[in-house]
Structure 1
Amino acid sequence: MDEREAGVGSRLRRLREARGISLSALARSAGIGKATLSGLELGSRNPTLETLYAVAGALGVPLTALVLEPGAPPGDAVDVRGAAVTATLLEVFEEQGVTFELLRVRVRPGVVQQSPPHAPGVTEHVTVYEGVLRAGPADAPLLAAPGEHISWRADVPHVYCTVGPDEVVATLLIRSPRGTLEE
């Protein structure tokens, strides 16, 4: 077990227990196996980006609540890899009633990443710097080329994939209303 996985696991357990949610109930709500969730809490499983977002959404917290110790600077976060996306947390901004998470994302060609819904009211905003990105609601994804911006409500299943053979480099800003998130 590495230190990062143990940290994610202990934060996950603390958040789950603070909400009075059983392991089984959270696994069901997040749409993941109970053994997977138990392994995450114990630090014996390497969490994927998709799994972390599913658990964060089920708990009603932003991703940073799982990947960073409270009060730690974003630079302490490490890359989190999903099926197609590798995300690096750059900054967290707090405004009255809203949390913003700014991430650098790289999307590998040839794979579609299915992202679970976030908490109600969460939106995603992507600016593409390299490559062509297809992302957004799974039933109606949007297209963005270098220099273009797309955004959508992320409280529905959504996807990320490249169009063509080139990797996509972009920034992702996740806006989470704090009324739906308890940290």
Structure 2
Amino acid sequence: MESVSVIPQQRQMALALAELGPRLRTLRRAANLTLQQVALLTGIGISTLSRLEAGKRRPSLDLLVPLAAAFGTPLEDLLGVAQHAGEPPVVHSPQRRSGIAAQRLSHHVGGIQVYRLILPPHQSPAPRRHDGYGWLCVLVGEVELVLSGRNLALGPGDAAEFDTHMPHWFGAAGETPAEVLFLAGGPGERVRLRVRTTGESD
């Protein structure tokens, strides 16, 4: 039997984080953007962006999501997580409903859970409601979000948060799949993100 070399998850993440700074700089230069322009696009302070590129600042989810959207790249590509083209995402807790491929990005039990979802096109809205709170950010493609009968159109970089007690549904709006980052919290667990203004100190 062929042996397979497995890199421990913590070591793999440490390697990905060590390479994040140079990757951010490469993506920014490839997009022909200055630090000031990226700050305007993301709401992240210039000093924070500079420290991220220099590897002097540990990234967090509220920094990575707008950066991935600004550079038009999936979050796992930003982190350098290898994935073969055309293959479905790896799921830590196998779950596939109505053609939706889900990759669980969080590794803790309880609390707010983070998922990367690939939404197939041509899905019929089927709103549902349940306890908790939801937050999503569009990474790739166009998404239709239905909240209490109201239809909202979201594009790359757009985000929405909502009480899941309201009837809700979201899916790909175009002819191609859409990719979103989705955070799900239980009752009383709400995601609160604060956007920094340009030039604001850390």
What TM-score do you get using the length of structure 2 for normalisation?
0.46
Specify which structure has the higher proportion of strand: 1
Q: Higher Cα Rg: structure 1 or 2?
A: 2
